[in-house]
Structure 1
Amino acid sequence: MTPLEEQREREDVELLAGMMGGGVGPDEALRVLRKHKGDVQKAADAMLSGDRGEEDIISAWHNTSPSTQITAYDPASSGVPQATQASSSTLIDLTSDDNDARTWQLEPSQNEAKFGPSERAPDPAFQMVTTNTPIDTNHDERTLNDAIQASLADFNADELELFPVEQTVREGGRPIALRTESPGIAYAALTIQALFHVPQVRESMAKLRLPDIDTELPRDSNDAGAAQTIWSLVELFVNLDLAQLSAIIDKDVLRSLGQYPWNGSTDSLGDLTNEFIKCFGSLVDSFLNAQKPEDAAESHLFYFHHGQAESRGSSFKIEKNGIQGCVVAVEVGETFAPNDLISRLSVNLSRYNGSSSVHDLIFEPSDLAMFQLKPYVNHAKSAFPSGPPSAKSSREPFVFPKLLYLDRFLLENLPLANEKRMLEREMITEISELTKRKESLTTFNNRDALKDLRASLHYYEHVAEDRGDPDRQAALQRTAQKLKNILEANVAHVDEIDGRIEKLQADISKIFDCPELQKHQYDLRAVLMHTGLPGRKQIYSYVQDKQGVWWKTVDHSVTEVPEETVLTDPAGLHLNAGPYLLIYSRHLSEEQINAPVVWPKIFADNVEAANRTLFSLLQSEPDAAPEKRVPASLAANSSMSSLSFPFTQASLSDRTPLQEDSFSMDVSVESQTQR
């Protein structure tokens, strides 16, 4: 290979290893990549199916020609040897299971094939097409491969793109995009933007009294400490609320929280975000509690207290260990539980052993309820890295509600909630038994019993001949009638079972719907998403503004989206990614959400100056540019010394004599006592 080809191969190997979340080493990634002739998309699909390149080429034919040789693939070589299929005397029995072991050894791309006639009804989606119409069967593969290559280029890019100055002013109520100079900490910027759109967080940040700081210390100094970080965070929130810039770039505020850069993997993204929120929440909660009046209750903005309770019949043993929690980890994907938030929480927080059970409960809830969604790992499959033909990664989308009630998970509701849980378990057990009963009526020897009954009935009624024999004719009629009676009885029983299951499922969905368990409502405020690929443009957020409008932020682009998109976005599903953080907060009335937030005067005043500077650069005062103005209710604009906005020099050359590559508005901290 040429040096350029070797470089590209190394980059592809790093990308593949990163996509696997650290579970695959570079050597394995290289083997699989070369096995698929350098096709990144095919290699990624194979690795997601469990292929690690150990068994590279397996003959599925009986070689009868001495001139035909199938050469084993050498991982160290750069090419893939070609094998010619020889004639075969080996037949595959479509009615036997003897070939299962051989089928399991096929490449992942062959695992989905099912040999033998299909008993499935014709699917209208699969229609005949004209032979002269070109069919692009590789379109999806090329699309994913292009996306992978684009994300790799984006992930390795260190420079922020510059764009015209006309795009610098946000319009209407569109949120500001927060960006970072380093792509590795873009996840932290998205997290801050999401937290800003939580009303309780925004209000608490505005209420913080600015602590005393040493103004001579630089922001990134180790001696600046938590006080300087609080100043910077409040200043950042003021800009996110009042600035009219469409995007601002953070230079050192996020770094002061000590976060680690993201390596591009799905697993590390959620873990890093979790740790970042814990750091941010701990800092803010500590200052809120330090500044509260002595007789005021302790602040639980981010952190809640939880413990365990053991249930034995009607008695409970409670262990108050004073553990604090912030972000709750929830396994999603391929498990026995339904793939929705409430079901997964119930499974994660309750464990049963005969007549006893142990429950993780919230003793003192927080204002925020945040959930890190982690892909489920089935360790039982380790014996079969590639899995049997039927073992596939779950592609069922994860379902989460726009509002939820945490009452069933609170200590104060333990007796009632436990009673409901036991009733729920009884219903689930009955559904399981009914399902087994239905299978016994509809399945026999892995065949559709009802279909076979109908086929037999059709034979005796329409195919079998009596040959003019009255006795044979009577026997055929008796047999057909018996089959008809059995079929009708089974169908009626199956319908009865389906009706009962449907009713039980409806009852389960409403079992916790009672006033006693609907006092702690939490509303969805933000969703963080990951497509499964590395790069700052492969992670994005959905946030809701004060008017209830949802916005999608991808890097510097912010667009309005319907609520349905937020709740059903399928991005990342094929790469075991998707939503990785859900942020809920206590329900507030419209009046509470729209209550004005009063920011420290030292920052609010700088908003005005920064706003005037921005419009002067555009050679258009606000009064002269109504199409660029923001409604008066959104107040003015501000910026800060650690923030800037990238302009192209060409776009500024005919507007201002400034020669800088970026527009930066400095703020000096002149007074620590002004509000």
Structure 2
Amino acid sequence: MTQRSQRFQETSRPTPPTPQEQQDIESLTAIIPGTSPETALNALRRNNGNLDKAASALLDPPEDQGTFPLLNQPEINVSGPRTPPPSKPERGSPIIDLTNEDDPELSRALQASMEDQGPHFGPSTRAPDPNWAVVPSNVPVNTTVSHDDQSLSRAIEASLTYNQTADSYDELPLEERVRKGNWSVYVVLSCLTLPNNCRSPVALRPTQSSHVYAALLLHALYFVPQVRHSVANFRVDESDLEDGVMPDNIHLVWSVLEAFVNMDIALLTELNVDQILEAINTDHWSNAAETPGNLSIRFYTNLAWRIESTLRGFTSTTLLGFRYGIRDCNPKINPFDQLQDTCAVKVDIRGTPEANDLLSCLSSDMFLDGGASNGRQQVIYEPSDVVAFHLVRENMPSSTGAKTERHLFGFPEHLYLDQFLKDNAELASQKRNQQRDLHTRIQNLVKKREGLTSLNGRDVLQDLRSSLHYYEHVAEHNDDANRRSEIQSTATRLRRILARIESEIQTIDTTIAKFQADAAKAFDCKELQLHRYDLRVVLVHDGLYGRNHLYSYVKQNGEWWKTVDYTVTKVPLEAVLSDAVGLHLNAGPFFLIYSRALSPEEENEKPSWPDTLKNSVKHNNHTFLGTLPPEVAQKVADPNSPPTTPYRAGTPSEMESVSSSIVEPPGSRQDTMDDAP
């Protein structure tokens, strides 16, 4: 080895990582298994030390990433820009010549435009080179970051900052536990009578972060009007007790009722629900590899069926569970032999463009043999007031190691279940066949459009425009009359060919838009719009593990609220329907709850809670106000009427469903209270 080559190898060897780089390398190798320190260092230096961009590059590497020249390599002086701007073609470069009269003009022009020609003339399509910038490169540029990039950036940032050991149950100071809302005013009003719907929602919190998913589901059920009112009407009498003790299911529903009363009346902004979750035998979310959706469906199914069986007799309709089965045209098969009961529908999200929304996925899953023509499809025999959807992403392609475009999964604010009911099966099949035919015609038009605009991976229109630009602005005739005529004739024919293709593409685009609109409105008929269901709850997972990585959206009195642990904030509907969190981590919305549409008066109707439980919560409110610092307590107005006097405990329960160790010291339930004036 020569001394020169030896010196080059020594100088080109990468320098050791700096302390900051070493810390970033450890973070990257921790969140992206299988990444070597050398690869992580290379990614960091390729992205100028930007940790988010380096992680994004490792998760989604370019097809031709190559290697990045590391620090302290010998500098190579290069004079002039590396990629000069387009100019006139060099002498001897191949030029498209469409003056040959032997072939038909359209095929000749298309074929010539697709040939590997060398230089193209017209507006440049290459990436900008900073060496040729007209303005200084340090001038800030206003760019718009896509939802996908924002989602990935937030997820990576959260994964880098998350500390599992610090994911603990933090209790807020007493003065911060006062429930927020228009009713909690900082002025003393002795005769305040504001409606309960002015209040912000109360958060339900478990001590263990592994039970967060269950607390969110229990919390969510309160915001389903049918569930809230059915549970509010539940009563227990002596005949329901077994030797003075509540049976398990009755005790469970009574505990849910206690939680709901607290969510309505309590002055606290958060409530602990450890005991009620233990009563339901809640599974633990043990690690990041476990999908919270699978745990949620087991918890919801267990809770829903126990509530359903206990509340029979307190509601005139089927509340949470419904019956479905196979509609088969074979008269020898008794469909009632194949009926099943469920309270939640599994929705398989594959991430394909044609089935990336709730209704499309449901339609594709209803037919057992891939089509409606054979008559075998699953239908709902007895619909319920509430229907839940468990969104599963097990069959979605992984984005790690390859460029994979992800799209938001869509779900509507309102949906009609009529097309899935047994009584509408034939009409729905006809509409679905029409929709399928329109989609097939759309696909054929898309293929036709692709045939007009691309050939052998080349953009036909771009090449034709480049050729036209050449003959109109670059080609020289050198005062040769024949050459001038030839150039003008070729340009005229190119314009005609280009106009013909663009006109046909415009016709195709117009037809596709019409077919898409017709397909979207295929079920817009009154016969299939009798059973409207409204979105009530959305549970979301951002793809990471921990207390703050699961949250919910719930609807209360026409407004949407987001609950993350103990933080409750108001959000617009758009935020609920377009939340892109978890998009690149195979996560996102995983549980939806819809219920029958109600009038605003029905939705906002005040629940008929048992007096015993109302008095218990009011008593706790009074005790809680007594524990607050005087300067805080005097600014809080309680809108609830005082409890009855003397205070009497309600139906005995073996345990409290909502922890009140803070607001109700031992023995306080025996205290008597006077009516307020």
Q: Provide the TM-score with structure 1 as the length reference.
A: 0.72
Q: 1:109 is matched with which residue?
A: none
**Counterpart code for 1:234:** L
Q: 1:465 is matched with which residue?
A: 476
- Given that 2:223 and 2:536 are in contact with CA atoms closer than 8 Å, whether structure 1 keeps it comes out as yes
Aligned counterpart for 2:209 among listed residues 169, 180, 183? 183
- Residue 529 and residue 144 in structure 1: after superposition, are their counterparts in 2 closer, same or farther (change >3 A)? closer
- Shift of the alpha carbon at 1:413? 0.6
Q: Which runs of structure 2 are paired with 1:549-628 in the superposition (5 Å)?
A: 549-618=559-628, 625=634, 627-628=635-636
- Residue 147 and residue 600 in structure 1: after superposition, are their counterparts in 2 closer, same or farther (change >3 A)? same
- Given that 2:152 and 2:583 are in contact with CA atoms closer than 8 Å, whether structure 1 keeps it comes out as no
**Counterpart code for 1:367:** D
Q: 2:300 is matched with which residue?
A: 277
Q: Which runs of structure 2 are paired with 1:280-295 in the superposition (5 Å)?
A: 280-289=303-312, 291=313
Is 1:401 paired with 2:412? yes
**Counterpart code for 2:288:** S
- Shift of the alpha carbon at 1:458? 2.3
- Given that 1:403 and 1:521 are in contact with CA atoms closer than 8 Å, whether structure 2 keeps it comes out as yes
Aligned counterpart for 2:340 among listed residues 314, 318, 323? 323
What CA distance in whole angstroms lies between the structure 2 residues aligned with 1:47 and 1:665? 55
Aligned counterpart for 1:343 among listed residues 360, 368, 390? 360
Write the deviation string for residues 371-391 of structure 1: whole angstroms up to 9, x where unpaired: 122225257x8xxx965x5x4
- Shift of the alpha carbon at 1:145? 5.1
**Counterpart code for 1:534:** Y
- Shift of the alpha carbon at 1:259? 1.6
What CA distance in whole angstroms lies between the structure 2 residues aligned with 1:153 and 1:49? 26
**Is 196-205 or 266-275 further displaced after alignment?**
266-275
Q: 1:534 is matched with which residue?
A: 545
- Given that 1:151 and 1:538 are in contact with CA atoms closer than 8 Å, whether structure 2 keeps it comes out as no
- Given that 1:196 and 1:202 are in contact with CA atoms closer than 8 Å, whether structure 2 keeps it comes out as yes
- Given that 1:305 and 1:323 are in contact with CA atoms closer than 8 Å, whether structure 2 keeps it comes out as yes
- Shift of the alpha carbon at 1:558? 1.2
- Given that 2:287 and 2:545 are in contact with CA atoms closer than 8 Å, whether structure 1 keeps it comes out as yes
- Residue 83 and residue 423 in structure 1: after superposition, are their counterparts in 2 closer, same or farther (change >3 A)? farther
- Residue 457 and residue 528 in structure 1: after superposition, are their counterparts in 2 closer, same or farther (change >3 A)? same
Q: 1:101 is matched with which residue?
A: none
- Shift of the alpha carbon at 1:178? 0.5
Q: What is the DSSP-based 3-state SS (H/G/I as helix, E as strand, rest coil) of the residue aligned with 1:283?
A: helix
- Shift of the alpha carbon at 1:356? 3.0
Aligned counterpart for 2:387 among listed residues 369, 374, 384? 369
Aligned counterpart for 2:467 among listed residues 443, 446, 456? 456
What CA distance in whole angstroms lies between the structure 2 residues aligned with 1:562 and 1:140? 18
- Shift of the alpha carbon at 1:141? 9.1
Q: 1:480 is matched with which residue?
A: 491
What CA distance in whole angstroms lies between the structure 1 residues aligned with 2:178 and 2:567? 11
Q: What is the DSSP-based 3-state SS (H/G/I as helix, E as strand, rest coil) of the residue aligned with 2:570?
A: strand
Q: What is the DSSP-based 3-state SS (H/G/I as helix, E as strand, rest coil) of the residue aligned with 2:406?
A: coil
**Counterpart code for 1:500:** T
**Counterpart code for 2:623:** T
- Given that 1:201 and 1:301 are in contact with CA atoms closer than 8 Å, whether structure 2 keeps it comes out as yes
Q: What is the DSSP-based 3-state SS (H/G/I as helix, E as strand, rest coil) of the residue aligned with 1:404?
A: strand
Is 1:206 paired with 2:232? yes
- Shift of the alpha carbon at 1:620? 6.0
Number of aligned residues: 561
What CA distance in whole angstroms lies between the structure 2 residues aligned with 1:432 and 1:603? 60
Q: 1:305 is matched with which residue?
A: 323
**Counterpart code for 1:352:** G
Q: 1:332 is matched with which residue?
A: 349
**Counterpart code for 1:552:** K
**Counterpart code for 1:595:** E
Q: 2:261 is matched with which residue?
A: 238
- Shift of the alpha carbon at 1:175? 0.8
- Given that 2:543 and 2:586 are in contact with CA atoms closer than 8 Å, whether structure 1 keeps it comes out as yes
- Residue 635 and residue 303 in structure 1: after superposition, are their counterparts in 2 closer, same or farther (change >3 A)? farther
**Counterpart code for 1:181:** T
- Shift of the alpha carbon at 1:13? 10
Is 1:441 paired with 2:455? no
- Residue 129 and residue 523 in structure 1: after superposition, are their counterparts in 2 closer, same or farther (change >3 A)? farther
**Is 473-482 or 190-199 further displaced after alignment?**
473-482
Q: Which runs of structure 2 are paired with 1:510-521 in the superposition (5 Å)?
A: 510-521=521-532
Larger strand percent: 1
- Shift of the alpha carbon at 1:166? 4.1
What CA distance in whole angstroms lies between the structure 2 residues aligned with 1:207 and 1:50? 58
**Counterpart code for 1:276:** F
Aligned counterpart for 1:225 among listed residues 248, 265, 286? 248
- Given that 2:624 and 2:664 are in contact with CA atoms closer than 8 Å, whether structure 1 keeps it comes out as no
- Residue 509 and residue 461 in structure 1: after superposition, are their counterparts in 2 closer, same or farther (change >3 A)? same
- Shift of the alpha carbon at 1:248? 0.9
Q: Provide the TM-score with structure 2 as the length reference.
A: 0.72
- Shift of the alpha carbon at 1:163? 2.5
- Residue 224 and residue 366 in structure 1: after superposition, are their counterparts in 2 closer, same or farther (change >3 A)? closer
What CA distance in whole angstroms lies between the structure 1 residues aligned with 2:217 and 2:514? 42
Aligned counterpart for 1:489 among listed residues 497, 500, 509? 500
Aligned counterpart for 2:514 among listed residues 498, 503, 512? 503
- Given that 1:304 and 1:366 are in contact with CA atoms closer than 8 Å, whether structure 2 keeps it comes out as yes
Q: What is the DSSP-based 3-state SS (H/G/I as helix, E as strand, rest coil) of the residue aligned with 1:190?
A: helix
- Residue 453 and residue 189 in structure 1: after superposition, are their counterparts in 2 closer, same or farther (change >3 A)? same
Q: What is the DSSP-based 3-state SS (H/G/I as helix, E as strand, rest coil) of the residue aligned with 1:356?
A: coil
Q: Which runs of structure 2 are paired with 1:38-187 in the superposition (5 Å)?
A: 45=56, 49=60, 120=125, 130-131=136-137, 146-153=157-164, 157-172=167-182, 173-187=199-213
Q: 1:249 is matched with which residue?
A: 272
- Residue 511 and residue 143 in structure 1: after superposition, are their counterparts in 2 closer, same or farther (change >3 A)? closer
- Shift of the alpha carbon at 1:438? 0.7
What CA distance in whole angstroms lies between the structure 1 residues aligned with 2:529 and 2:235? 35
What CA distance in whole angstroms lies between the structure 2 residues aligned with 1:412 and 1:141? 45
What CA distance in whole angstroms lies between the structure 1 residues aligned with 2:546 and 2:365? 31
- Residue 85 and residue 444 in structure 1: after superposition, are their counterparts in 2 closer, same or farther (change >3 A)? farther
Write the deviation string for residues 307-341 of structure 1: whole angstroms up to 9, x where unpaired: 122469xx998733121122222233632424222
- Given that 2:416 and 2:531 are in contact with CA atoms closer than 8 Å, whether structure 1 keeps it comes out as yes
- Residue 424 and residue 128 in structure 1: after superposition, are their counterparts in 2 closer, same or farther (change >3 A)? farther
Write the deviation string for residues 384-409 of structure 1: whole angstroms up to 9, x where unpaired: x965x5x41x4322222111111111
What CA distance in whole angstroms lies between the structure 1 residues aligned with 2:311 and 2:609? 16
**Counterpart code for 1:362:** I
Write the deviation string for residues 147-185 of structure 1: whole angstroms up to 9, x where unpaired: 22443336x534434334243334331011110111110
- Give the percent of matched residue pairs that are identical in Structure 1 and Structure 2: 35
Write the deviation string for residues 458-502 of structure 1: whole angstroms up to 9, x where unpaired: 222333233444333333333222222211111111000111111
Q: 2:433 is matched with which residue?
A: 422
Aligned counterpart for 2:374 among listed residues 347, 356, 369? 356
Write the deviation string for residues 215-273 of structure 1: whole angstroms up to 9, x where unpaired: 988xxxxx963232222222112111221211111231011111211134376211111
What CA distance in whole angstroms lies between the structure 1 residues aligned with 2:124 and 2:516? 29
Q: 2:222 is matched with which residue?
A: 196
List runs of 5+ in structure 2 lacking aligned partners. Answer: 1-22, 45-50, 77-118, 183-198, 671-677
What CA distance in whole angstroms lies between the structure 2 residues aligned with 1:328 and 1:611? 40
- Given that 1:302 and 1:367 are in contact with CA atoms closer than 8 Å, whether structure 2 keeps it comes out as yes
List runs of 5+ in structure 1 lacking aligned partners. Answer: 1-7, 18-28, 52-57, 62-69, 71-80, 88-115, 218-222, 647-661, 671-675
- Residue 48 and residue 517 in structure 1: after superposition, are their counterparts in 2 closer, same or farther (change >3 A)? farther
Q: 1:36 is matched with which residue?
A: 40
Structure with max Cα Rg: 2
- Residue 309 and residue 283 in structure 1: after superposition, are their counterparts in 2 closer, same or farther (change >3 A)? same
Q: What is the DSSP-based 3-state SS (H/G/I as helix, E as strand, rest coil) of the residue aligned with 1:178?
A: strand
- Given that 2:174 and 2:628 are in contact with CA atoms closer than 8 Å, whether structure 1 keeps it comes out as no
**Counterpart code for 1:319:** P
- Given that 1:32 and 1:43 are in contact with CA atoms closer than 8 Å, whether structure 2 keeps it comes out as no
- Residue 472 and residue 139 in structure 1: after superposition, are their counterparts in 2 closer, same or farther (change >3 A)? closer
**Counterpart code for 2:233:** K
